Amino acid sequence: MDGFRWDYTNNVETPNFDAIEKMGVKAESMQVSFPSKTFPNHYTLVTGLVPDHHGIVNNTFYAPQYNQVYSIRDREAVSDGKFYGGEPIWNTAEKQGIKAASYFWVGSEADIQGMRPSYWKPYDHDFDFYQRADSVISWLSLEEGKRPQMISWYVAEPDGIGHHYGPKSPQADSAIRALDALLGYFIKKLSNHPLADQVNVIVTSDHGMATISEERSILLNQYLKKEWVKYALGGNPIYNIQAEDGYYDSIYLALEDVAGLKIFKNPELPAHLNYGTNENCLDFTIVADSSFSIMKKAPRRDYGMGTHGYDISNKDMNAIFYAYGPAFKNGYQQAMFSNTSVYPLMCEVLGIIPAPNDGNLDEVKSMLK
């Protein structure tokens, strides 16, 4: 569930999330990987690699190796496997004789290592969430030789609501109630399925959401001259910048003392961010301080009330993690852990050997029976 902040279920009644907490596992929260953006963290969840290692370093970035820009809105780039490093869980599964399926997940449309999941869908943002749930159940109903044993599926909320209205708004509360109802629908459908007692379910998110305001906005065009910058790609509150020849120092000096942001020479970012060594990070990474915004220029439309992408030490960026099924303990409270460990956890549950990754199974295996 995109943009589902770790503490959203504390704000409203969520009987179906609460049901999983009783019959399975709930993590206090899950720390995401930097940058706390959608595409980098979706791909981290299925590879166990931090974005700096799998290469999807931002929602939009320039890849010097290919002299090409990757953007989440560029369908051709999104489905081009050359941008995706590491090995996604569906490839790990398929290589070891387990069919996989994906109903919208970053990377699932791309030919990665010459492979795709056995079943996948081109992304359709407006496709009904309940129909997605029905399709997942239908995959489980296929005859044994065709049935996938590893399924990933995605819904785009509450991210959009959080961006527009803010994470502490009545609209966000309504979105959480609606998603809890969707979860209840899925749980009930699955409970009535012949394979119900053989299916493990993980419910998680890619990042959280923080409150922002127009008063705390930094406009880059007030500090950087156009001729200094070759690329400034990403999105509020994090950008990767490549300087034009001769203007490296100009960019750094112009931004190093700006209140509300930090500029880092790559790869000199703080160690806890695990970021900045990949060539896709370019010359500099700039990231706003918590609750501040960075924009290239004043937007033409209204400012939103929420965003994400900040330093992962900001707990507002933390995600949810719930799980239940035959592999998981009942009523177990899991301490905060890194989202890189979801990949080795899934491999353990599936009984397959993980590809090299940055996760730590020891961090999460206590939630398993």
184: nearest Cα among 5, 1, 15, 323: 15
CA–CA dist 157, 308 (Å, integer): 14
Q: What is the pLDDT along the chain (369 residues), one digit of tens a residue?
A: 999 999 999 999 999 999 999 999 999 999 999 999 999 999 999 999 999 999 999 999 999 999 999 999 999 999 999 999 999 999 999 999 999 999 999 999 999 999 999 999 999 999 999 999 999 999 999 999 999 999 999 999 999 999 999 999 999 999 999 999 999 999 999 999 999 999 999 999 999 999 999 999 999 999 999 999 999 999 999 999 999 999 999 999 999 999 999 999 999 999 999 999 999 999 999 999 999 999 999 887 777 999 999 999 999 999 999 999 999 999 999 999 999 999 999 999 999 999 999 999 999 999 999
Distances from the Cα of 97 to the Cαs of 147, 234, 308, in angstroms? 12, 38, 38
* pTM (two decimals): 0.98
Residues belonging to the active site: 38
Collapsing DSSP states into helix, strand and coil, what is residue 113? coil
Distances from the Cα of 361 to the Cαs of 112, 164, 268, 316, 353, in angstroms? 24, 36, 28, 25, 12
